[in-house]
Amino acid sequence: MEILIDALLQGILMGLLFALVALGLNVIFGVMDIVNFAHGEFLMLGMYTAYFTSLLIGVDPLFALPVSALTGVLLGLASYYWFIKYLLRGPAIAQLFGTFGLMLFLRYLAQFLFGIDYRILQKGVLIGKSFSVGPFIFDATKLAAGVLSLIAFAVVYYFLNKTKVGKALQATSLNKEAASYMGIKTDKMNALAWAIGGGTVGVAGGLLINFYYVYPTVGLLFVMIAFACVALGGFGSIKGVFFAGLLVGILEMVFPVFGQLIGSDFLGPHFKFTIVYLAYFIIVVFRPQGLFGWKN
Amino acid sequence: MEKLKDALDFSDFSRAEQIGLIIFSIFLLVFPWLGSGSFVKAVMIQFLLFSLFGMGWNTIGGYGGQVELGKAQYVGIGAYTVALLMVWLNIPFWISMPIGVLIAVGYSFIIGYPLFRLKGHYFAIATICTSLVLQDIFTNWKLVGAAKGIELPIHEHPDFLYMQFKSDNYYYYFIMVLFYCTLFYMNWFRKSKLGYQLRMIKDDEEAAESLGIDIRWCKIKTYSIASAFVAVGGGFMAVYNLYIDPASVMDLDLSIKIALMAMLGGAGSLWGPIIGAAFLVPLDRFLGSWLGGHKGLIGVDFMIYAALIMVVSAYQPRGIWGIIEQFRGKGK
Amino acid sequence: MAFLEVKDVIKDFGGLVANSNVSFQIEEGEIIGLIGPNGAGKTTLFNCIVGYYSPESGKVLFKGSDITGHKPFQTNQAGIGRTFQIMKVTTGMTVVENVMVGAFCRTDSRHQAREEALEILRFLGMEGVGEHYINELPIAMQKKVGMARALATKPQLLMLDEVASGLNHTETDEMVVLLKRLNAEKKITLFLIEHIMEMVMAVSQKVIVLDGGIKIAEGLPQDIVKNENVIKAYLGEKYAKSH
């Protein structure tokens, strides 16, 4: 029983991080109806940036966060202005393949620049430490990741709902044309969406590198998780993706424990992501509006 | 009979295309006697194999208009069926291959039914999901060799029953025959009832429905056809490489390559996948072997493809064939 | 048993009731017109019959079978063809290929589909148009392509959505002749939504009038024009009263 609750709590922590990762994807989708396949690569580059910054400048990983956030923002803006903008003229199929191409390009760029080795941060204020709350033990890094993800998510949420620019962004995502008639320039909103998308996932990368290995192809796993979250939460729904992130995090942690409990050898931890892929498939086919509905 | 005539009838193509096809075919026929090394021969075999994969993908991705990124799961089904039946029950290729196709088609109907409720990127992601799930299952399933894969027992003498040969020339002609079978089938397909219906669906879905076309069912049928051809290619891979594992026959990278070649060459056209493969397979192989020597340049070959995809999607989504057609006005 | 029977069909769009208890019958071989002011619910009714919409309640029966809520491809296979008011100008397929798609509904052979397509084009006076693309043709021709396509599916009931819109007088007259030929020679029952009164009056044997989602009149064309409710619907109460 305890193991189950422990898994649940760990799942919530990871889920908060997943929610942050998926948030960026969702914002871009909401505003432009484009699925950014390269989202996982933005995460990966955020991770590398935090890694190298921390290593080379000798700064604590927590302070490398702004750097990875900035990298994410720049990546998002560069992608939009130098590439995505041109895709918009074409059919949806071309857009799909375009972001796919971007994904491959960034992935192999990373492989070329950094090699295929797995890297993880070893030194830092929080690394290796843990907190105990009652019978449960949490890694300090994961706890920080969860808490900071929650804060980052809240900041973006506040931005989108309470600031003028944020509301303009929401307006564009609800109805591009109407918003532009009211003076909200679609082009700027698109760029903003990419900046937010890149920035949030850059932060997520900076958090992740503290306890997860980075390697050039790590993006694929996380972008699939992000897709599952976005689908579960309802494409375009910010609140939805938050709860969906939590759900996926919990699922991912609880599933192998569940398998353990029922003594199944087959349902082991190696299938925990398989469950996520299946979840995406089932949700999208049988309940396309996700658990929480369309764009809110 | 009409079907066979249709398959062999290329008269609605331009003179230039017909002549090109003839020259190309002659080249393919005499290629093994041109005295090229084993590396080049292997590249040619890969080219024909990927053309086959690409043409299969093209039915649903090009003519069907639904880009899918999960073809590798069918390569895997074809490959594993042939390999396992041979290793467990010593069943010859000519029996195990059709079984593989049947399994592939059956599987495609089962997942196709829910899958085709989706469109666009939702659909594409879902195809990735199913492929990853299958790969995960195979990678962890000890019965089928898990991550280690399956090694096919080697037969000493040229064996037409099990399709095993020492000389690459046999494999070359085998894949060439498969290639032409696929090409003729595609030529028939685009002129068939289903081909017309798919074109109508692409052009004007509402009208298609009003003309008695069950859109979803059409797409599922097309998807199954695609999976059948791809499974055949997978079976070939099993007897050619004599070793298969989830990473080599079911991987997402393989799905991407297949879709990429077809799209780069021109999805929705008959020649597109072949052009795409002709371009990318040699590029992949030669670049790979050249760069392989320089350890610091791993990944550059993929960077080049990726850049290619990006450029093509931004400027000419209809691929190389689209560019050619632009120069000519209109085409098929 | 009526050929087409619409029984108490109600279609509402979350509060806006577009069709309210609409009922009528069509006999085989008839030519029926459906008229009414803008927003009367004609297109909604059309779509409920053909299958784009599923009515909230009521039934649609075709040749005795219940086709309520069936999808468009099913109603087409059952024998109902339809044209579109606005033809999507597409460049993917030539005219004859478009018509062949219709023919493929009833045959698997390309050869036969092509033969039938050419025959229909000839019937409609469109030989020579076959190899063109829809976007290259004038409006009257485009409409005929739409009809040819639908006719290729061998419908017993052909539903025409504002087939006269965009046509000039001569073209409208030609259309009337064509429709009568279709009805007489090909034995096709016709059901038209129309705004152009001269077309409706010239071709229909019976006219049904909708207003505000309700059927307000049904009868012979010459009686309908004199019907007080109909005049009121189109021209307002004052006019009706004073005439």
Residues of A in contact with B118 (CB under 8 A): 284-285, 288
C145 and C197 share one domain: no
Among the partner-chain residues A98, A227, A274, the one whose CB lies closest to the CB of B133 is A274
Q: What is the CATH number of the domain that holds B306?
A: 1.10.3470
C75 and C159 share one domain: yes
Q: Do C84 and B207 touch (CB under 8 A)?
A: yes
Residue B56 has what pLDDT? 94
What is the C-alpha separation between B38 and B167, in angstroms, rounded? 10
What is the C-alpha separation between A26 and A92, in angstroms, rounded? 17
* Mean pLDDT over each residue of chain A, to the nearest integer: 84
Distance from CA of B303 to the nearest CA of A (A): 5
Which among B210, B213, B216, B217 is the top mutation candidate for probing chain C, defined by the most C β-carbons within 10 Å of its own β-carbon? B210
Assign B232 a pLDDT band (cuts: 50, 70, 90): very high
What is the C-alpha separation between B138 and B245, in angstroms, rounded? 9
pLDDT digit string, tens, across residues B115-155: 898 877 788 888 998 998 899 888 888 888 888 888 888 87
The type of residue at B209 is E
What is the C-alpha separation between A143 and A149, in angstroms, rounded? 10
**CB neighbour burial string for C130-165, b if at least 16 within 10 angstroms, e if fewer:** beebbeebeebbbbbbbbbbbbbbbbbbbbbbbbbb
Which among B204, B211, B219, B221 is the top mutation candidate for probing chain C, defined by the most C β-carbons within 10 Å of its own β-carbon? B211
Q: Do C73 and B204 touch (CB under 8 A)?
A: no
Tokens of A96: 């799909």
Residue B292 has what pLDDT? 63
Residue C147 has what pLDDT? 92
Residue A72 has what pLDDT? 94
Assign B72 a pLDDT band (cuts: 50, 70, 90): very high
Region of A261 (left: φ > 0; alpha: ψ -120 to 50; beta: rest) is: alpha
Dihedrals φ, ψ of B32, to 5°? -60, -25
Q: Is C8 helix (H, G, I), strand (E, B) or coil?
A: strand
Is residue B273 scored above 60 in pLDDT?
A: yes
Residues of B in contact with A281 (CB under 8 A): 114, 126, 129-130, 133
**CB neighbour burial string for C187-207, b if at least 16 within 10 angstroms, e if fewer:** ebbbbbbbebbebbbbbbebb
Q: Which residue in the block uniquely carries the two structure tokens 């809240």?
A: A154
C69 and C180 share one domain: yes
Residue B332 has what pLDDT? 41
Question: Which domains, and CATH codes, for chain A?
Answer: 2-286 (1.10.3470)
Residue B293 has what pLDDT? 61
Helices A186-208/A61-79 angle, 10° precision:
150
Is residue C102 scored above 90 in pLDDT?
A: yes
The type of residue at C51 is G
- DSSP-derived letter for residue C136 is G
Residue A255 has what pLDDT? 78
pLDDT digit string, tens, across residues A207-228: 988 888 888 888 888 988 898 8
Residue B117 has what pLDDT? 87
C71 and C159 share one domain: yes
C139 and C163 share one domain: no
Which of C131, C153, C175 is where one domain is finished?
Answer: C153
Residue C214 has what pLDDT? 87
Domain that holds residue C22: 4-79+155-242
Q: Do B120 and A274 touch (CB under 8 A)?
A: no
Q: Do B136 and A271 touch (CB under 8 A)?
A: yes
Is residue B58 scored above 90 in pLDDT?
A: yes
Q: Do C73 and B192 touch (CB under 8 A)?
A: no
* Residue C191 β-bridge partners: C32, C159
Angle subtended at Cα B312 by Cα B308 and Cα A48, rounded to the nearest 5 degrees: 45
Other CB atoms closer than 10 Å to residue A256's CB: what's the count? 18
C55 and C99 share one domain: no
Distance from CA of B39 to the nearest CA of A (A): 25
Q: How far is CA B77 from CA A45, A209, A244, B107, C130, in A?
A: 35, 37, 33, 9, 45
Q: How far is CA B130 from CA A22, A93, B79, B246, in A?
A: 20, 20, 17, 14
Residues of B in contact with C76 (CB under 8 A): 209-212
Strands of C157-161's sheet, edge to edge? Answer: C80-82, C157-161, C189-193, C31-35, C206-211, C214-219
Chains that touch C (3 or more CB pairs under 8 A): B
What is the C-alpha separation between C90 and C134, in angstroms, rounded? 6
pLDDT digit string, tens, across residues C50-95: 999 888 889 999 998 999 989 999 999 999 999 998 888 777 889 9
pLDDT digit string, tens, across residues C19-29: 888 899 999 99
Dihedrals φ, ψ of C157, to 5°? -125, 125
Region of C144 (left: φ > 0; alpha: ψ -120 to 50; beta: rest) is: alpha
What is the C-alpha separation between B173 and A289, in angstroms, rounded? 51
Q: What is the mean pLDDT of residues B217-228?
A: 95
C37 and C132 share one domain: no
Domain that holds residue B162: 2-328
pLDDT digit string, tens, across residues C173-224: 989 999 999 999 989 999 999 888 888 888 999 999 988 888 888 989 888 8
Q: How far is CA C68 from CA A255, C34, C47, C64, in A?
A: 45, 19, 11, 12
Contact C145, C87 (CB under 8 A): yes
Intervals of chain A under pLDDT 70: 125, 261-270, 292-296
Q: Is the ipTM of this complex over 0.90?
A: no
* Whether C93 contacts chain B with CB within 8 A: yes
Residue B180: exposed, middle, or buried by beta-carbon count in 10 A (0-12, 13-18, 19+)?
middle
Contact C34, C210 (CB under 8 A): yes
Distance from CA of B297 to the nearest CA of A (A): 6
Which of C100, C119, C153 is where one domain is finished?
Answer: C153
- Number of folded domains in chain B? 1
- Number of folded domains in chain C? 2
pLDDT digit string, tens, across residues B86-109: 888 888 889 999 999 999 999 999
Distance from CA of B6 to the nearest CA of C (A): 9
Q: Do A270 and B136 touch (CB under 8 A)?
A: yes
Dihedrals φ, ψ of B214, to 5°? -90, 95
Residues 6+ apart with CB under 8 A from A189: A31, A168, A169, A172, A179
Assign B316 a pLDDT band (cuts: 50, 70, 90): confident
Closest-CA residue of chain B to A97 = B313
What is the C-alpha separation between B121 and A95, in angstroms, rounded? 9
Is residue B185 scored above 50 in pLDDT?
A: yes
Taking the alpha carbons at both ends of chain C, their separation in whole angstroms is 39
Residues of B in contact with C50 (CB under 8 A): 210
Residues of B in contact with A35 (CB under 8 A): 121, 125
C164 and C129 share one domain: no
Residues 6+ apart with CB under 8 A from A241: A19, A22, A23, A26, A229, A230, A233, A234
Residue B94: exposed, middle, or buried by beta-carbon count in 10 A (0-12, 13-18, 19+)?
exposed
Q: What is the mean pLDDT of residues C111-136?
A: 90
Residue A296 has what pLDDT? 37
Which of C100, C133, C153 is where one domain is finished?
Answer: C153
Q: Do A98 and B309 touch (CB under 8 A)?
A: yes
Residue A198 has what pLDDT? 94
C202 and C231 share one domain: yes
C100 and C142 share one domain: yes
* Mean pLDDT over each residue of chain C, to the nearest integer: 88
What is the C-alpha separation between A188 and C114, in angstroms, rounded? 52
SS3 content of chain C, % helix, strand, coil (to 5): 40, 25, 35
